[in-house]
């Protein structure tokens, strides 16, 4: 069987969103499925990791469609580096137009992706198209390819389409856009022959948007234990809490950094691998933490994994976001679990991330909206490090099997063959 995976994020793009597709390319072959990938030619990714190109399996054929959209850099970052009143006004105008694009700004890629996709399906005798989001416009491509070629279409939802935890739905304009997005989502997912989702919440949302009777399967993200082979943890003289990943939407480092400042322990180091918003960076620097604060920016995947393994504790931040954060269970959670380092999780205690971390015994969990609880959790982690009881969070064999990427690939293969 030959499958075409449509993914906006694929090497040389970097970041956590690349890994699900990259590992499916590797592992689906074990189940008799050959993989082609359709990705943008040059989307000007904000996070680039050319080293990941060497991880693309030799048996995977990659097709590139032109991308004519804007830079992958966040609007906040673009505004921060734009100087002068006139250039900033012009940029504001362009960004306002960008926000009107549905279902997302990356929809600019759709026409060229569909054109190239039709050719690939016919030339390569593709039997099924698997589209993966974000961005949701990837599924627009899948629906168009289904309509034009008759090929089977599976939509893989890694984020909620309509309950984005980083959007401010209290704003009338955002709610109005969401209403239009829902109509788009119903039309697109109504063409899907099956839907996969990384959490039960997202699966339920997909089922409500699709045609009645459409098969919907939960295929979670997974752990890449092999990625940490050869990496070691050695305790140091300072207690390093590491956050891997960039900040956007309502995710904020401030509650954690306020706890670091309040604890006032010179042995604690807060290290960030990924971009902070300019306002958050300025605010963090103004705390006067000195060498207790390290902001290192984006790093290649292999370097990030080594930093995870070397850290004393890993920091996970999921905002409550009016309840929408309850369903968030990103690929980062699984990378943290694969590293087998303890996690300081500032997440909704009743949410999906907390449920998994609690079940695996991997974390101190604190409500992101309760400063006293955050401070107490940070103090407990620091004390465990100080008295030598900060042990690795080694998963038992049952959990390792359940969470392994190869298990996820087997589940996806069953969906595709079905």
Question: What ranges in 150-253 are assigned the alpha helix state H?
Answer: 172-189, 200-209
Tell how strand 194-197 and strand 363-366 pair up. unpaired
Question: Which residues have CB under 8 Å from 348's CB, separation 6+?
Answer: 318, 320, 325, 326, 354, 367, 368
Task: Please give the pLDDT value at position 72.
Answer: 53
State how far the Cα of 177 lies from the Cα of 125, in Å rounded to an integer. Answer: 38
Task: Please give the pLDDT value at position 68.
Answer: 85
Residue 128: strand pairing partners:
3, 152
Task: Please give the pLDDT value at position 103.
Answer: 82
The maximal CA–CA distance of the chain, rounded, in angstroms, is 64
Instruction: Identify whether the C-beta of residue 126 lies closer than 8 Å to the C-beta of residue 1.
Output: no
Beta-carbon count within 10 A of 113 CB: 29
Tell how strand 293-295 and strand 268-273 pair up. parallel
Give the number of residues written for the chain: 418
Question: Which residues have CB under 8 Å from 277's CB, separation 6+?
Answer: 74, 76, 77, 80, 247, 248
State how far the Cα of 226 lies from the Cα of 223, in Å rounded to an integer. Answer: 9
Nearest CA among 131, 132, 151 for reference residue 1: 151
Task: Please give the pLDDT value at position 93.
Answer: 45
Question: What ranges in 264-330 are assigned the alpha helix state H?
Answer: 278-286, 301-310
Beta-carbon count within 10 A of 354 CB: 21
Residue with tokens 């970052």: 77
Beta-carbon count within 10 A of 102 CB: 16
Check: CATH 3.40.50.300 for 2-72+102-223+404-417?
no
Task: Please give the pLDDT value at position 92.
Answer: 41
Tell how strand 194-197 and strand 216-218 pair up. parallel
3-class DSSP state of 4:
strand
Superfamily, domain 225-394: Glycogen Phosphorylase B; (3.40.50.2000)
Task: Please give the pLDDT value at position 324.
Answer: 79
Lookup: tokens for 292: 């207790």
Task: Please give the pLDDT value at position 96.
Answer: 47
Instruction: Identify whether the C-beta of residue 225 lies closer than 8 Å to the C-beta of residue 404.
Output: yes
DSSP secondary structure code for residue 114 in this structure? H
Sheet containing 268-273: give its strands across.
293-295, 268-273, 239-244, 313-317, 343-346, 363-366
State how far the Cα of 32 lies from the Cα of 417, in Å rounded to an integer. Answer: 10
Instruction: Identify whether the C-beta of residue 367 lies closer than 8 Å to the C-beta of residue 339.
Output: no
List phi, psi (to 5°) of 302.
-65, -40
State how far the Cα of 95 lies from the Cα of 105, in Å rounded to an integer. Answer: 10
Q: What angle do CA 91, 252, 266 make, to 5 degrees?
A: 125
Q: How far is CA 312 from CA 37, 95, 388, in A?
A: 37, 40, 11
Task: Please give the pLDDT value at position 105.
Answer: 86
State how far the Cα of 102 lies from the Cα of 371, in Å rounded to an integer. Answer: 37
Question: How big is the chain by its Cα radius of gyration, in Å?
Answer: 21
Instruction: Indicate where the chain has its CATH 3.40.50.2000 domain(s).
Output: 2-72+102-223+404-417, 225-394
From first to last of its 418 residues, what are the pLDDT tens digits of the chain? Answer: 999 999 999 999 988 889 999 999 999 999 999 999 999 997 667 688 999 999 999 999 999 999 987 755 555 555 455 556 555 445 444 444 555 566 888 999 999 999 999 999 999 999 999 999 999 999 999 999 999 999 999 999 999 998 866 666 667 766 777 788 899 999 999 999 999 999 999 999 999 999 999 999 999 999 999 999 999 999 999 999 999 988 877 789 999 999 999 999 999 999 999 888 889 999 999 999 999 999 998 899 999 999 999 999 999 999 988 887 888 888 899 999 999 999 999 999 999 999 999 999 989 999 999 999 999 999 999 999 999 999 899 999 999 999 999 999 999 999 999 8
CA 126 to chain centre: 27
């Amino acid at each position: 069987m030959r499958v075409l995976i449509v993914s906006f994020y694929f090497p040389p793009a970097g970041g956590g969103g690349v890994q699900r597709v990259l590992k499916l390319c590797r592992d689906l072959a074990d189940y008799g499925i050959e993989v082609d990938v359709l990705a943008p030619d040059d989307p000007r990714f904000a996070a680039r990791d050319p080293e990941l190109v060497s991880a693309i399996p030799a048996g995977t054929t990659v097709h590139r469609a032109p991308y004519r959209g804007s830079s992958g850099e966040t609007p906040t970052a673009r505004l921060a580096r734009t100087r002068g009143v006139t250039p900033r006004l012009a940029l504001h105008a362009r960004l306002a137009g960008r926000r009107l694009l549905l279902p997302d700004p990356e929809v600019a890629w759709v026409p060229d992706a569909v054109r190239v996709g039709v050719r690939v399906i016919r030339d390569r005798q593709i039997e099924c198209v698997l589209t993966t989001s974000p961005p949701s416009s990837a599924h627009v491509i899948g629906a168009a390819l289904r309509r034009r070629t008759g090929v089977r279409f599976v939509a893989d939802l890694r984020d909620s389409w309509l309950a984005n935890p980083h959007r401010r739905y209290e704003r009338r304009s955002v709610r109005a856009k969401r209403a239009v997005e829902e109509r788009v989502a119903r039309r697109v997912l109504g063409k899907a022959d099956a839907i996969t989702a990384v959490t039960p919440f997202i699966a339920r949302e997909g089922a409500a948007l699709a045609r009645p009777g459409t098969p919907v399967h939960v295929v979670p993200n997974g752990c890449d234990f092999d990625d940490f082979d050869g990496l070691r943890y050695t305790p140091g003289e300072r207690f390093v809490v590491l956050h891997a990943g960039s900040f956007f939407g309502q995710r904020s480092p401030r509650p954690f950094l306020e706890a670091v400042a309040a604890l006032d322990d010179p042995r604690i180091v807060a290290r960030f691998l990924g971009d902070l918003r300019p306002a958050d960076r300025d605010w963090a620097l103004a705390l006067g933490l000195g060498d207790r604060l390290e902001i290192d920016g984006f790093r290649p995947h292999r370097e990030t994994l080594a930093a995870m393994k070397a850290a004393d504790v890993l920091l996970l931040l999921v905002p409550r976001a009016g309840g929408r954060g309850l369903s968030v269970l990103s690929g980062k959670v699984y990378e943290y679990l694969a590293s087998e380092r303890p996690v300081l999780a500032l997440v909704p205690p009743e949410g999906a991330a907390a449920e998994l971390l609690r079940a695996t015994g991997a974390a101190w969990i604190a409500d992101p909206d309760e400063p006293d609880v955050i401070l107490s959790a940070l103090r407990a982690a620091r004390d465990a490090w100080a008295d030598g009881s900060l042990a690795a969070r080694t998963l038992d064999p049952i959990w390792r099997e359940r969470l392994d990427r190869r298990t996820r690939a087997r589940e996806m293969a069953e969906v595709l063959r079905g």
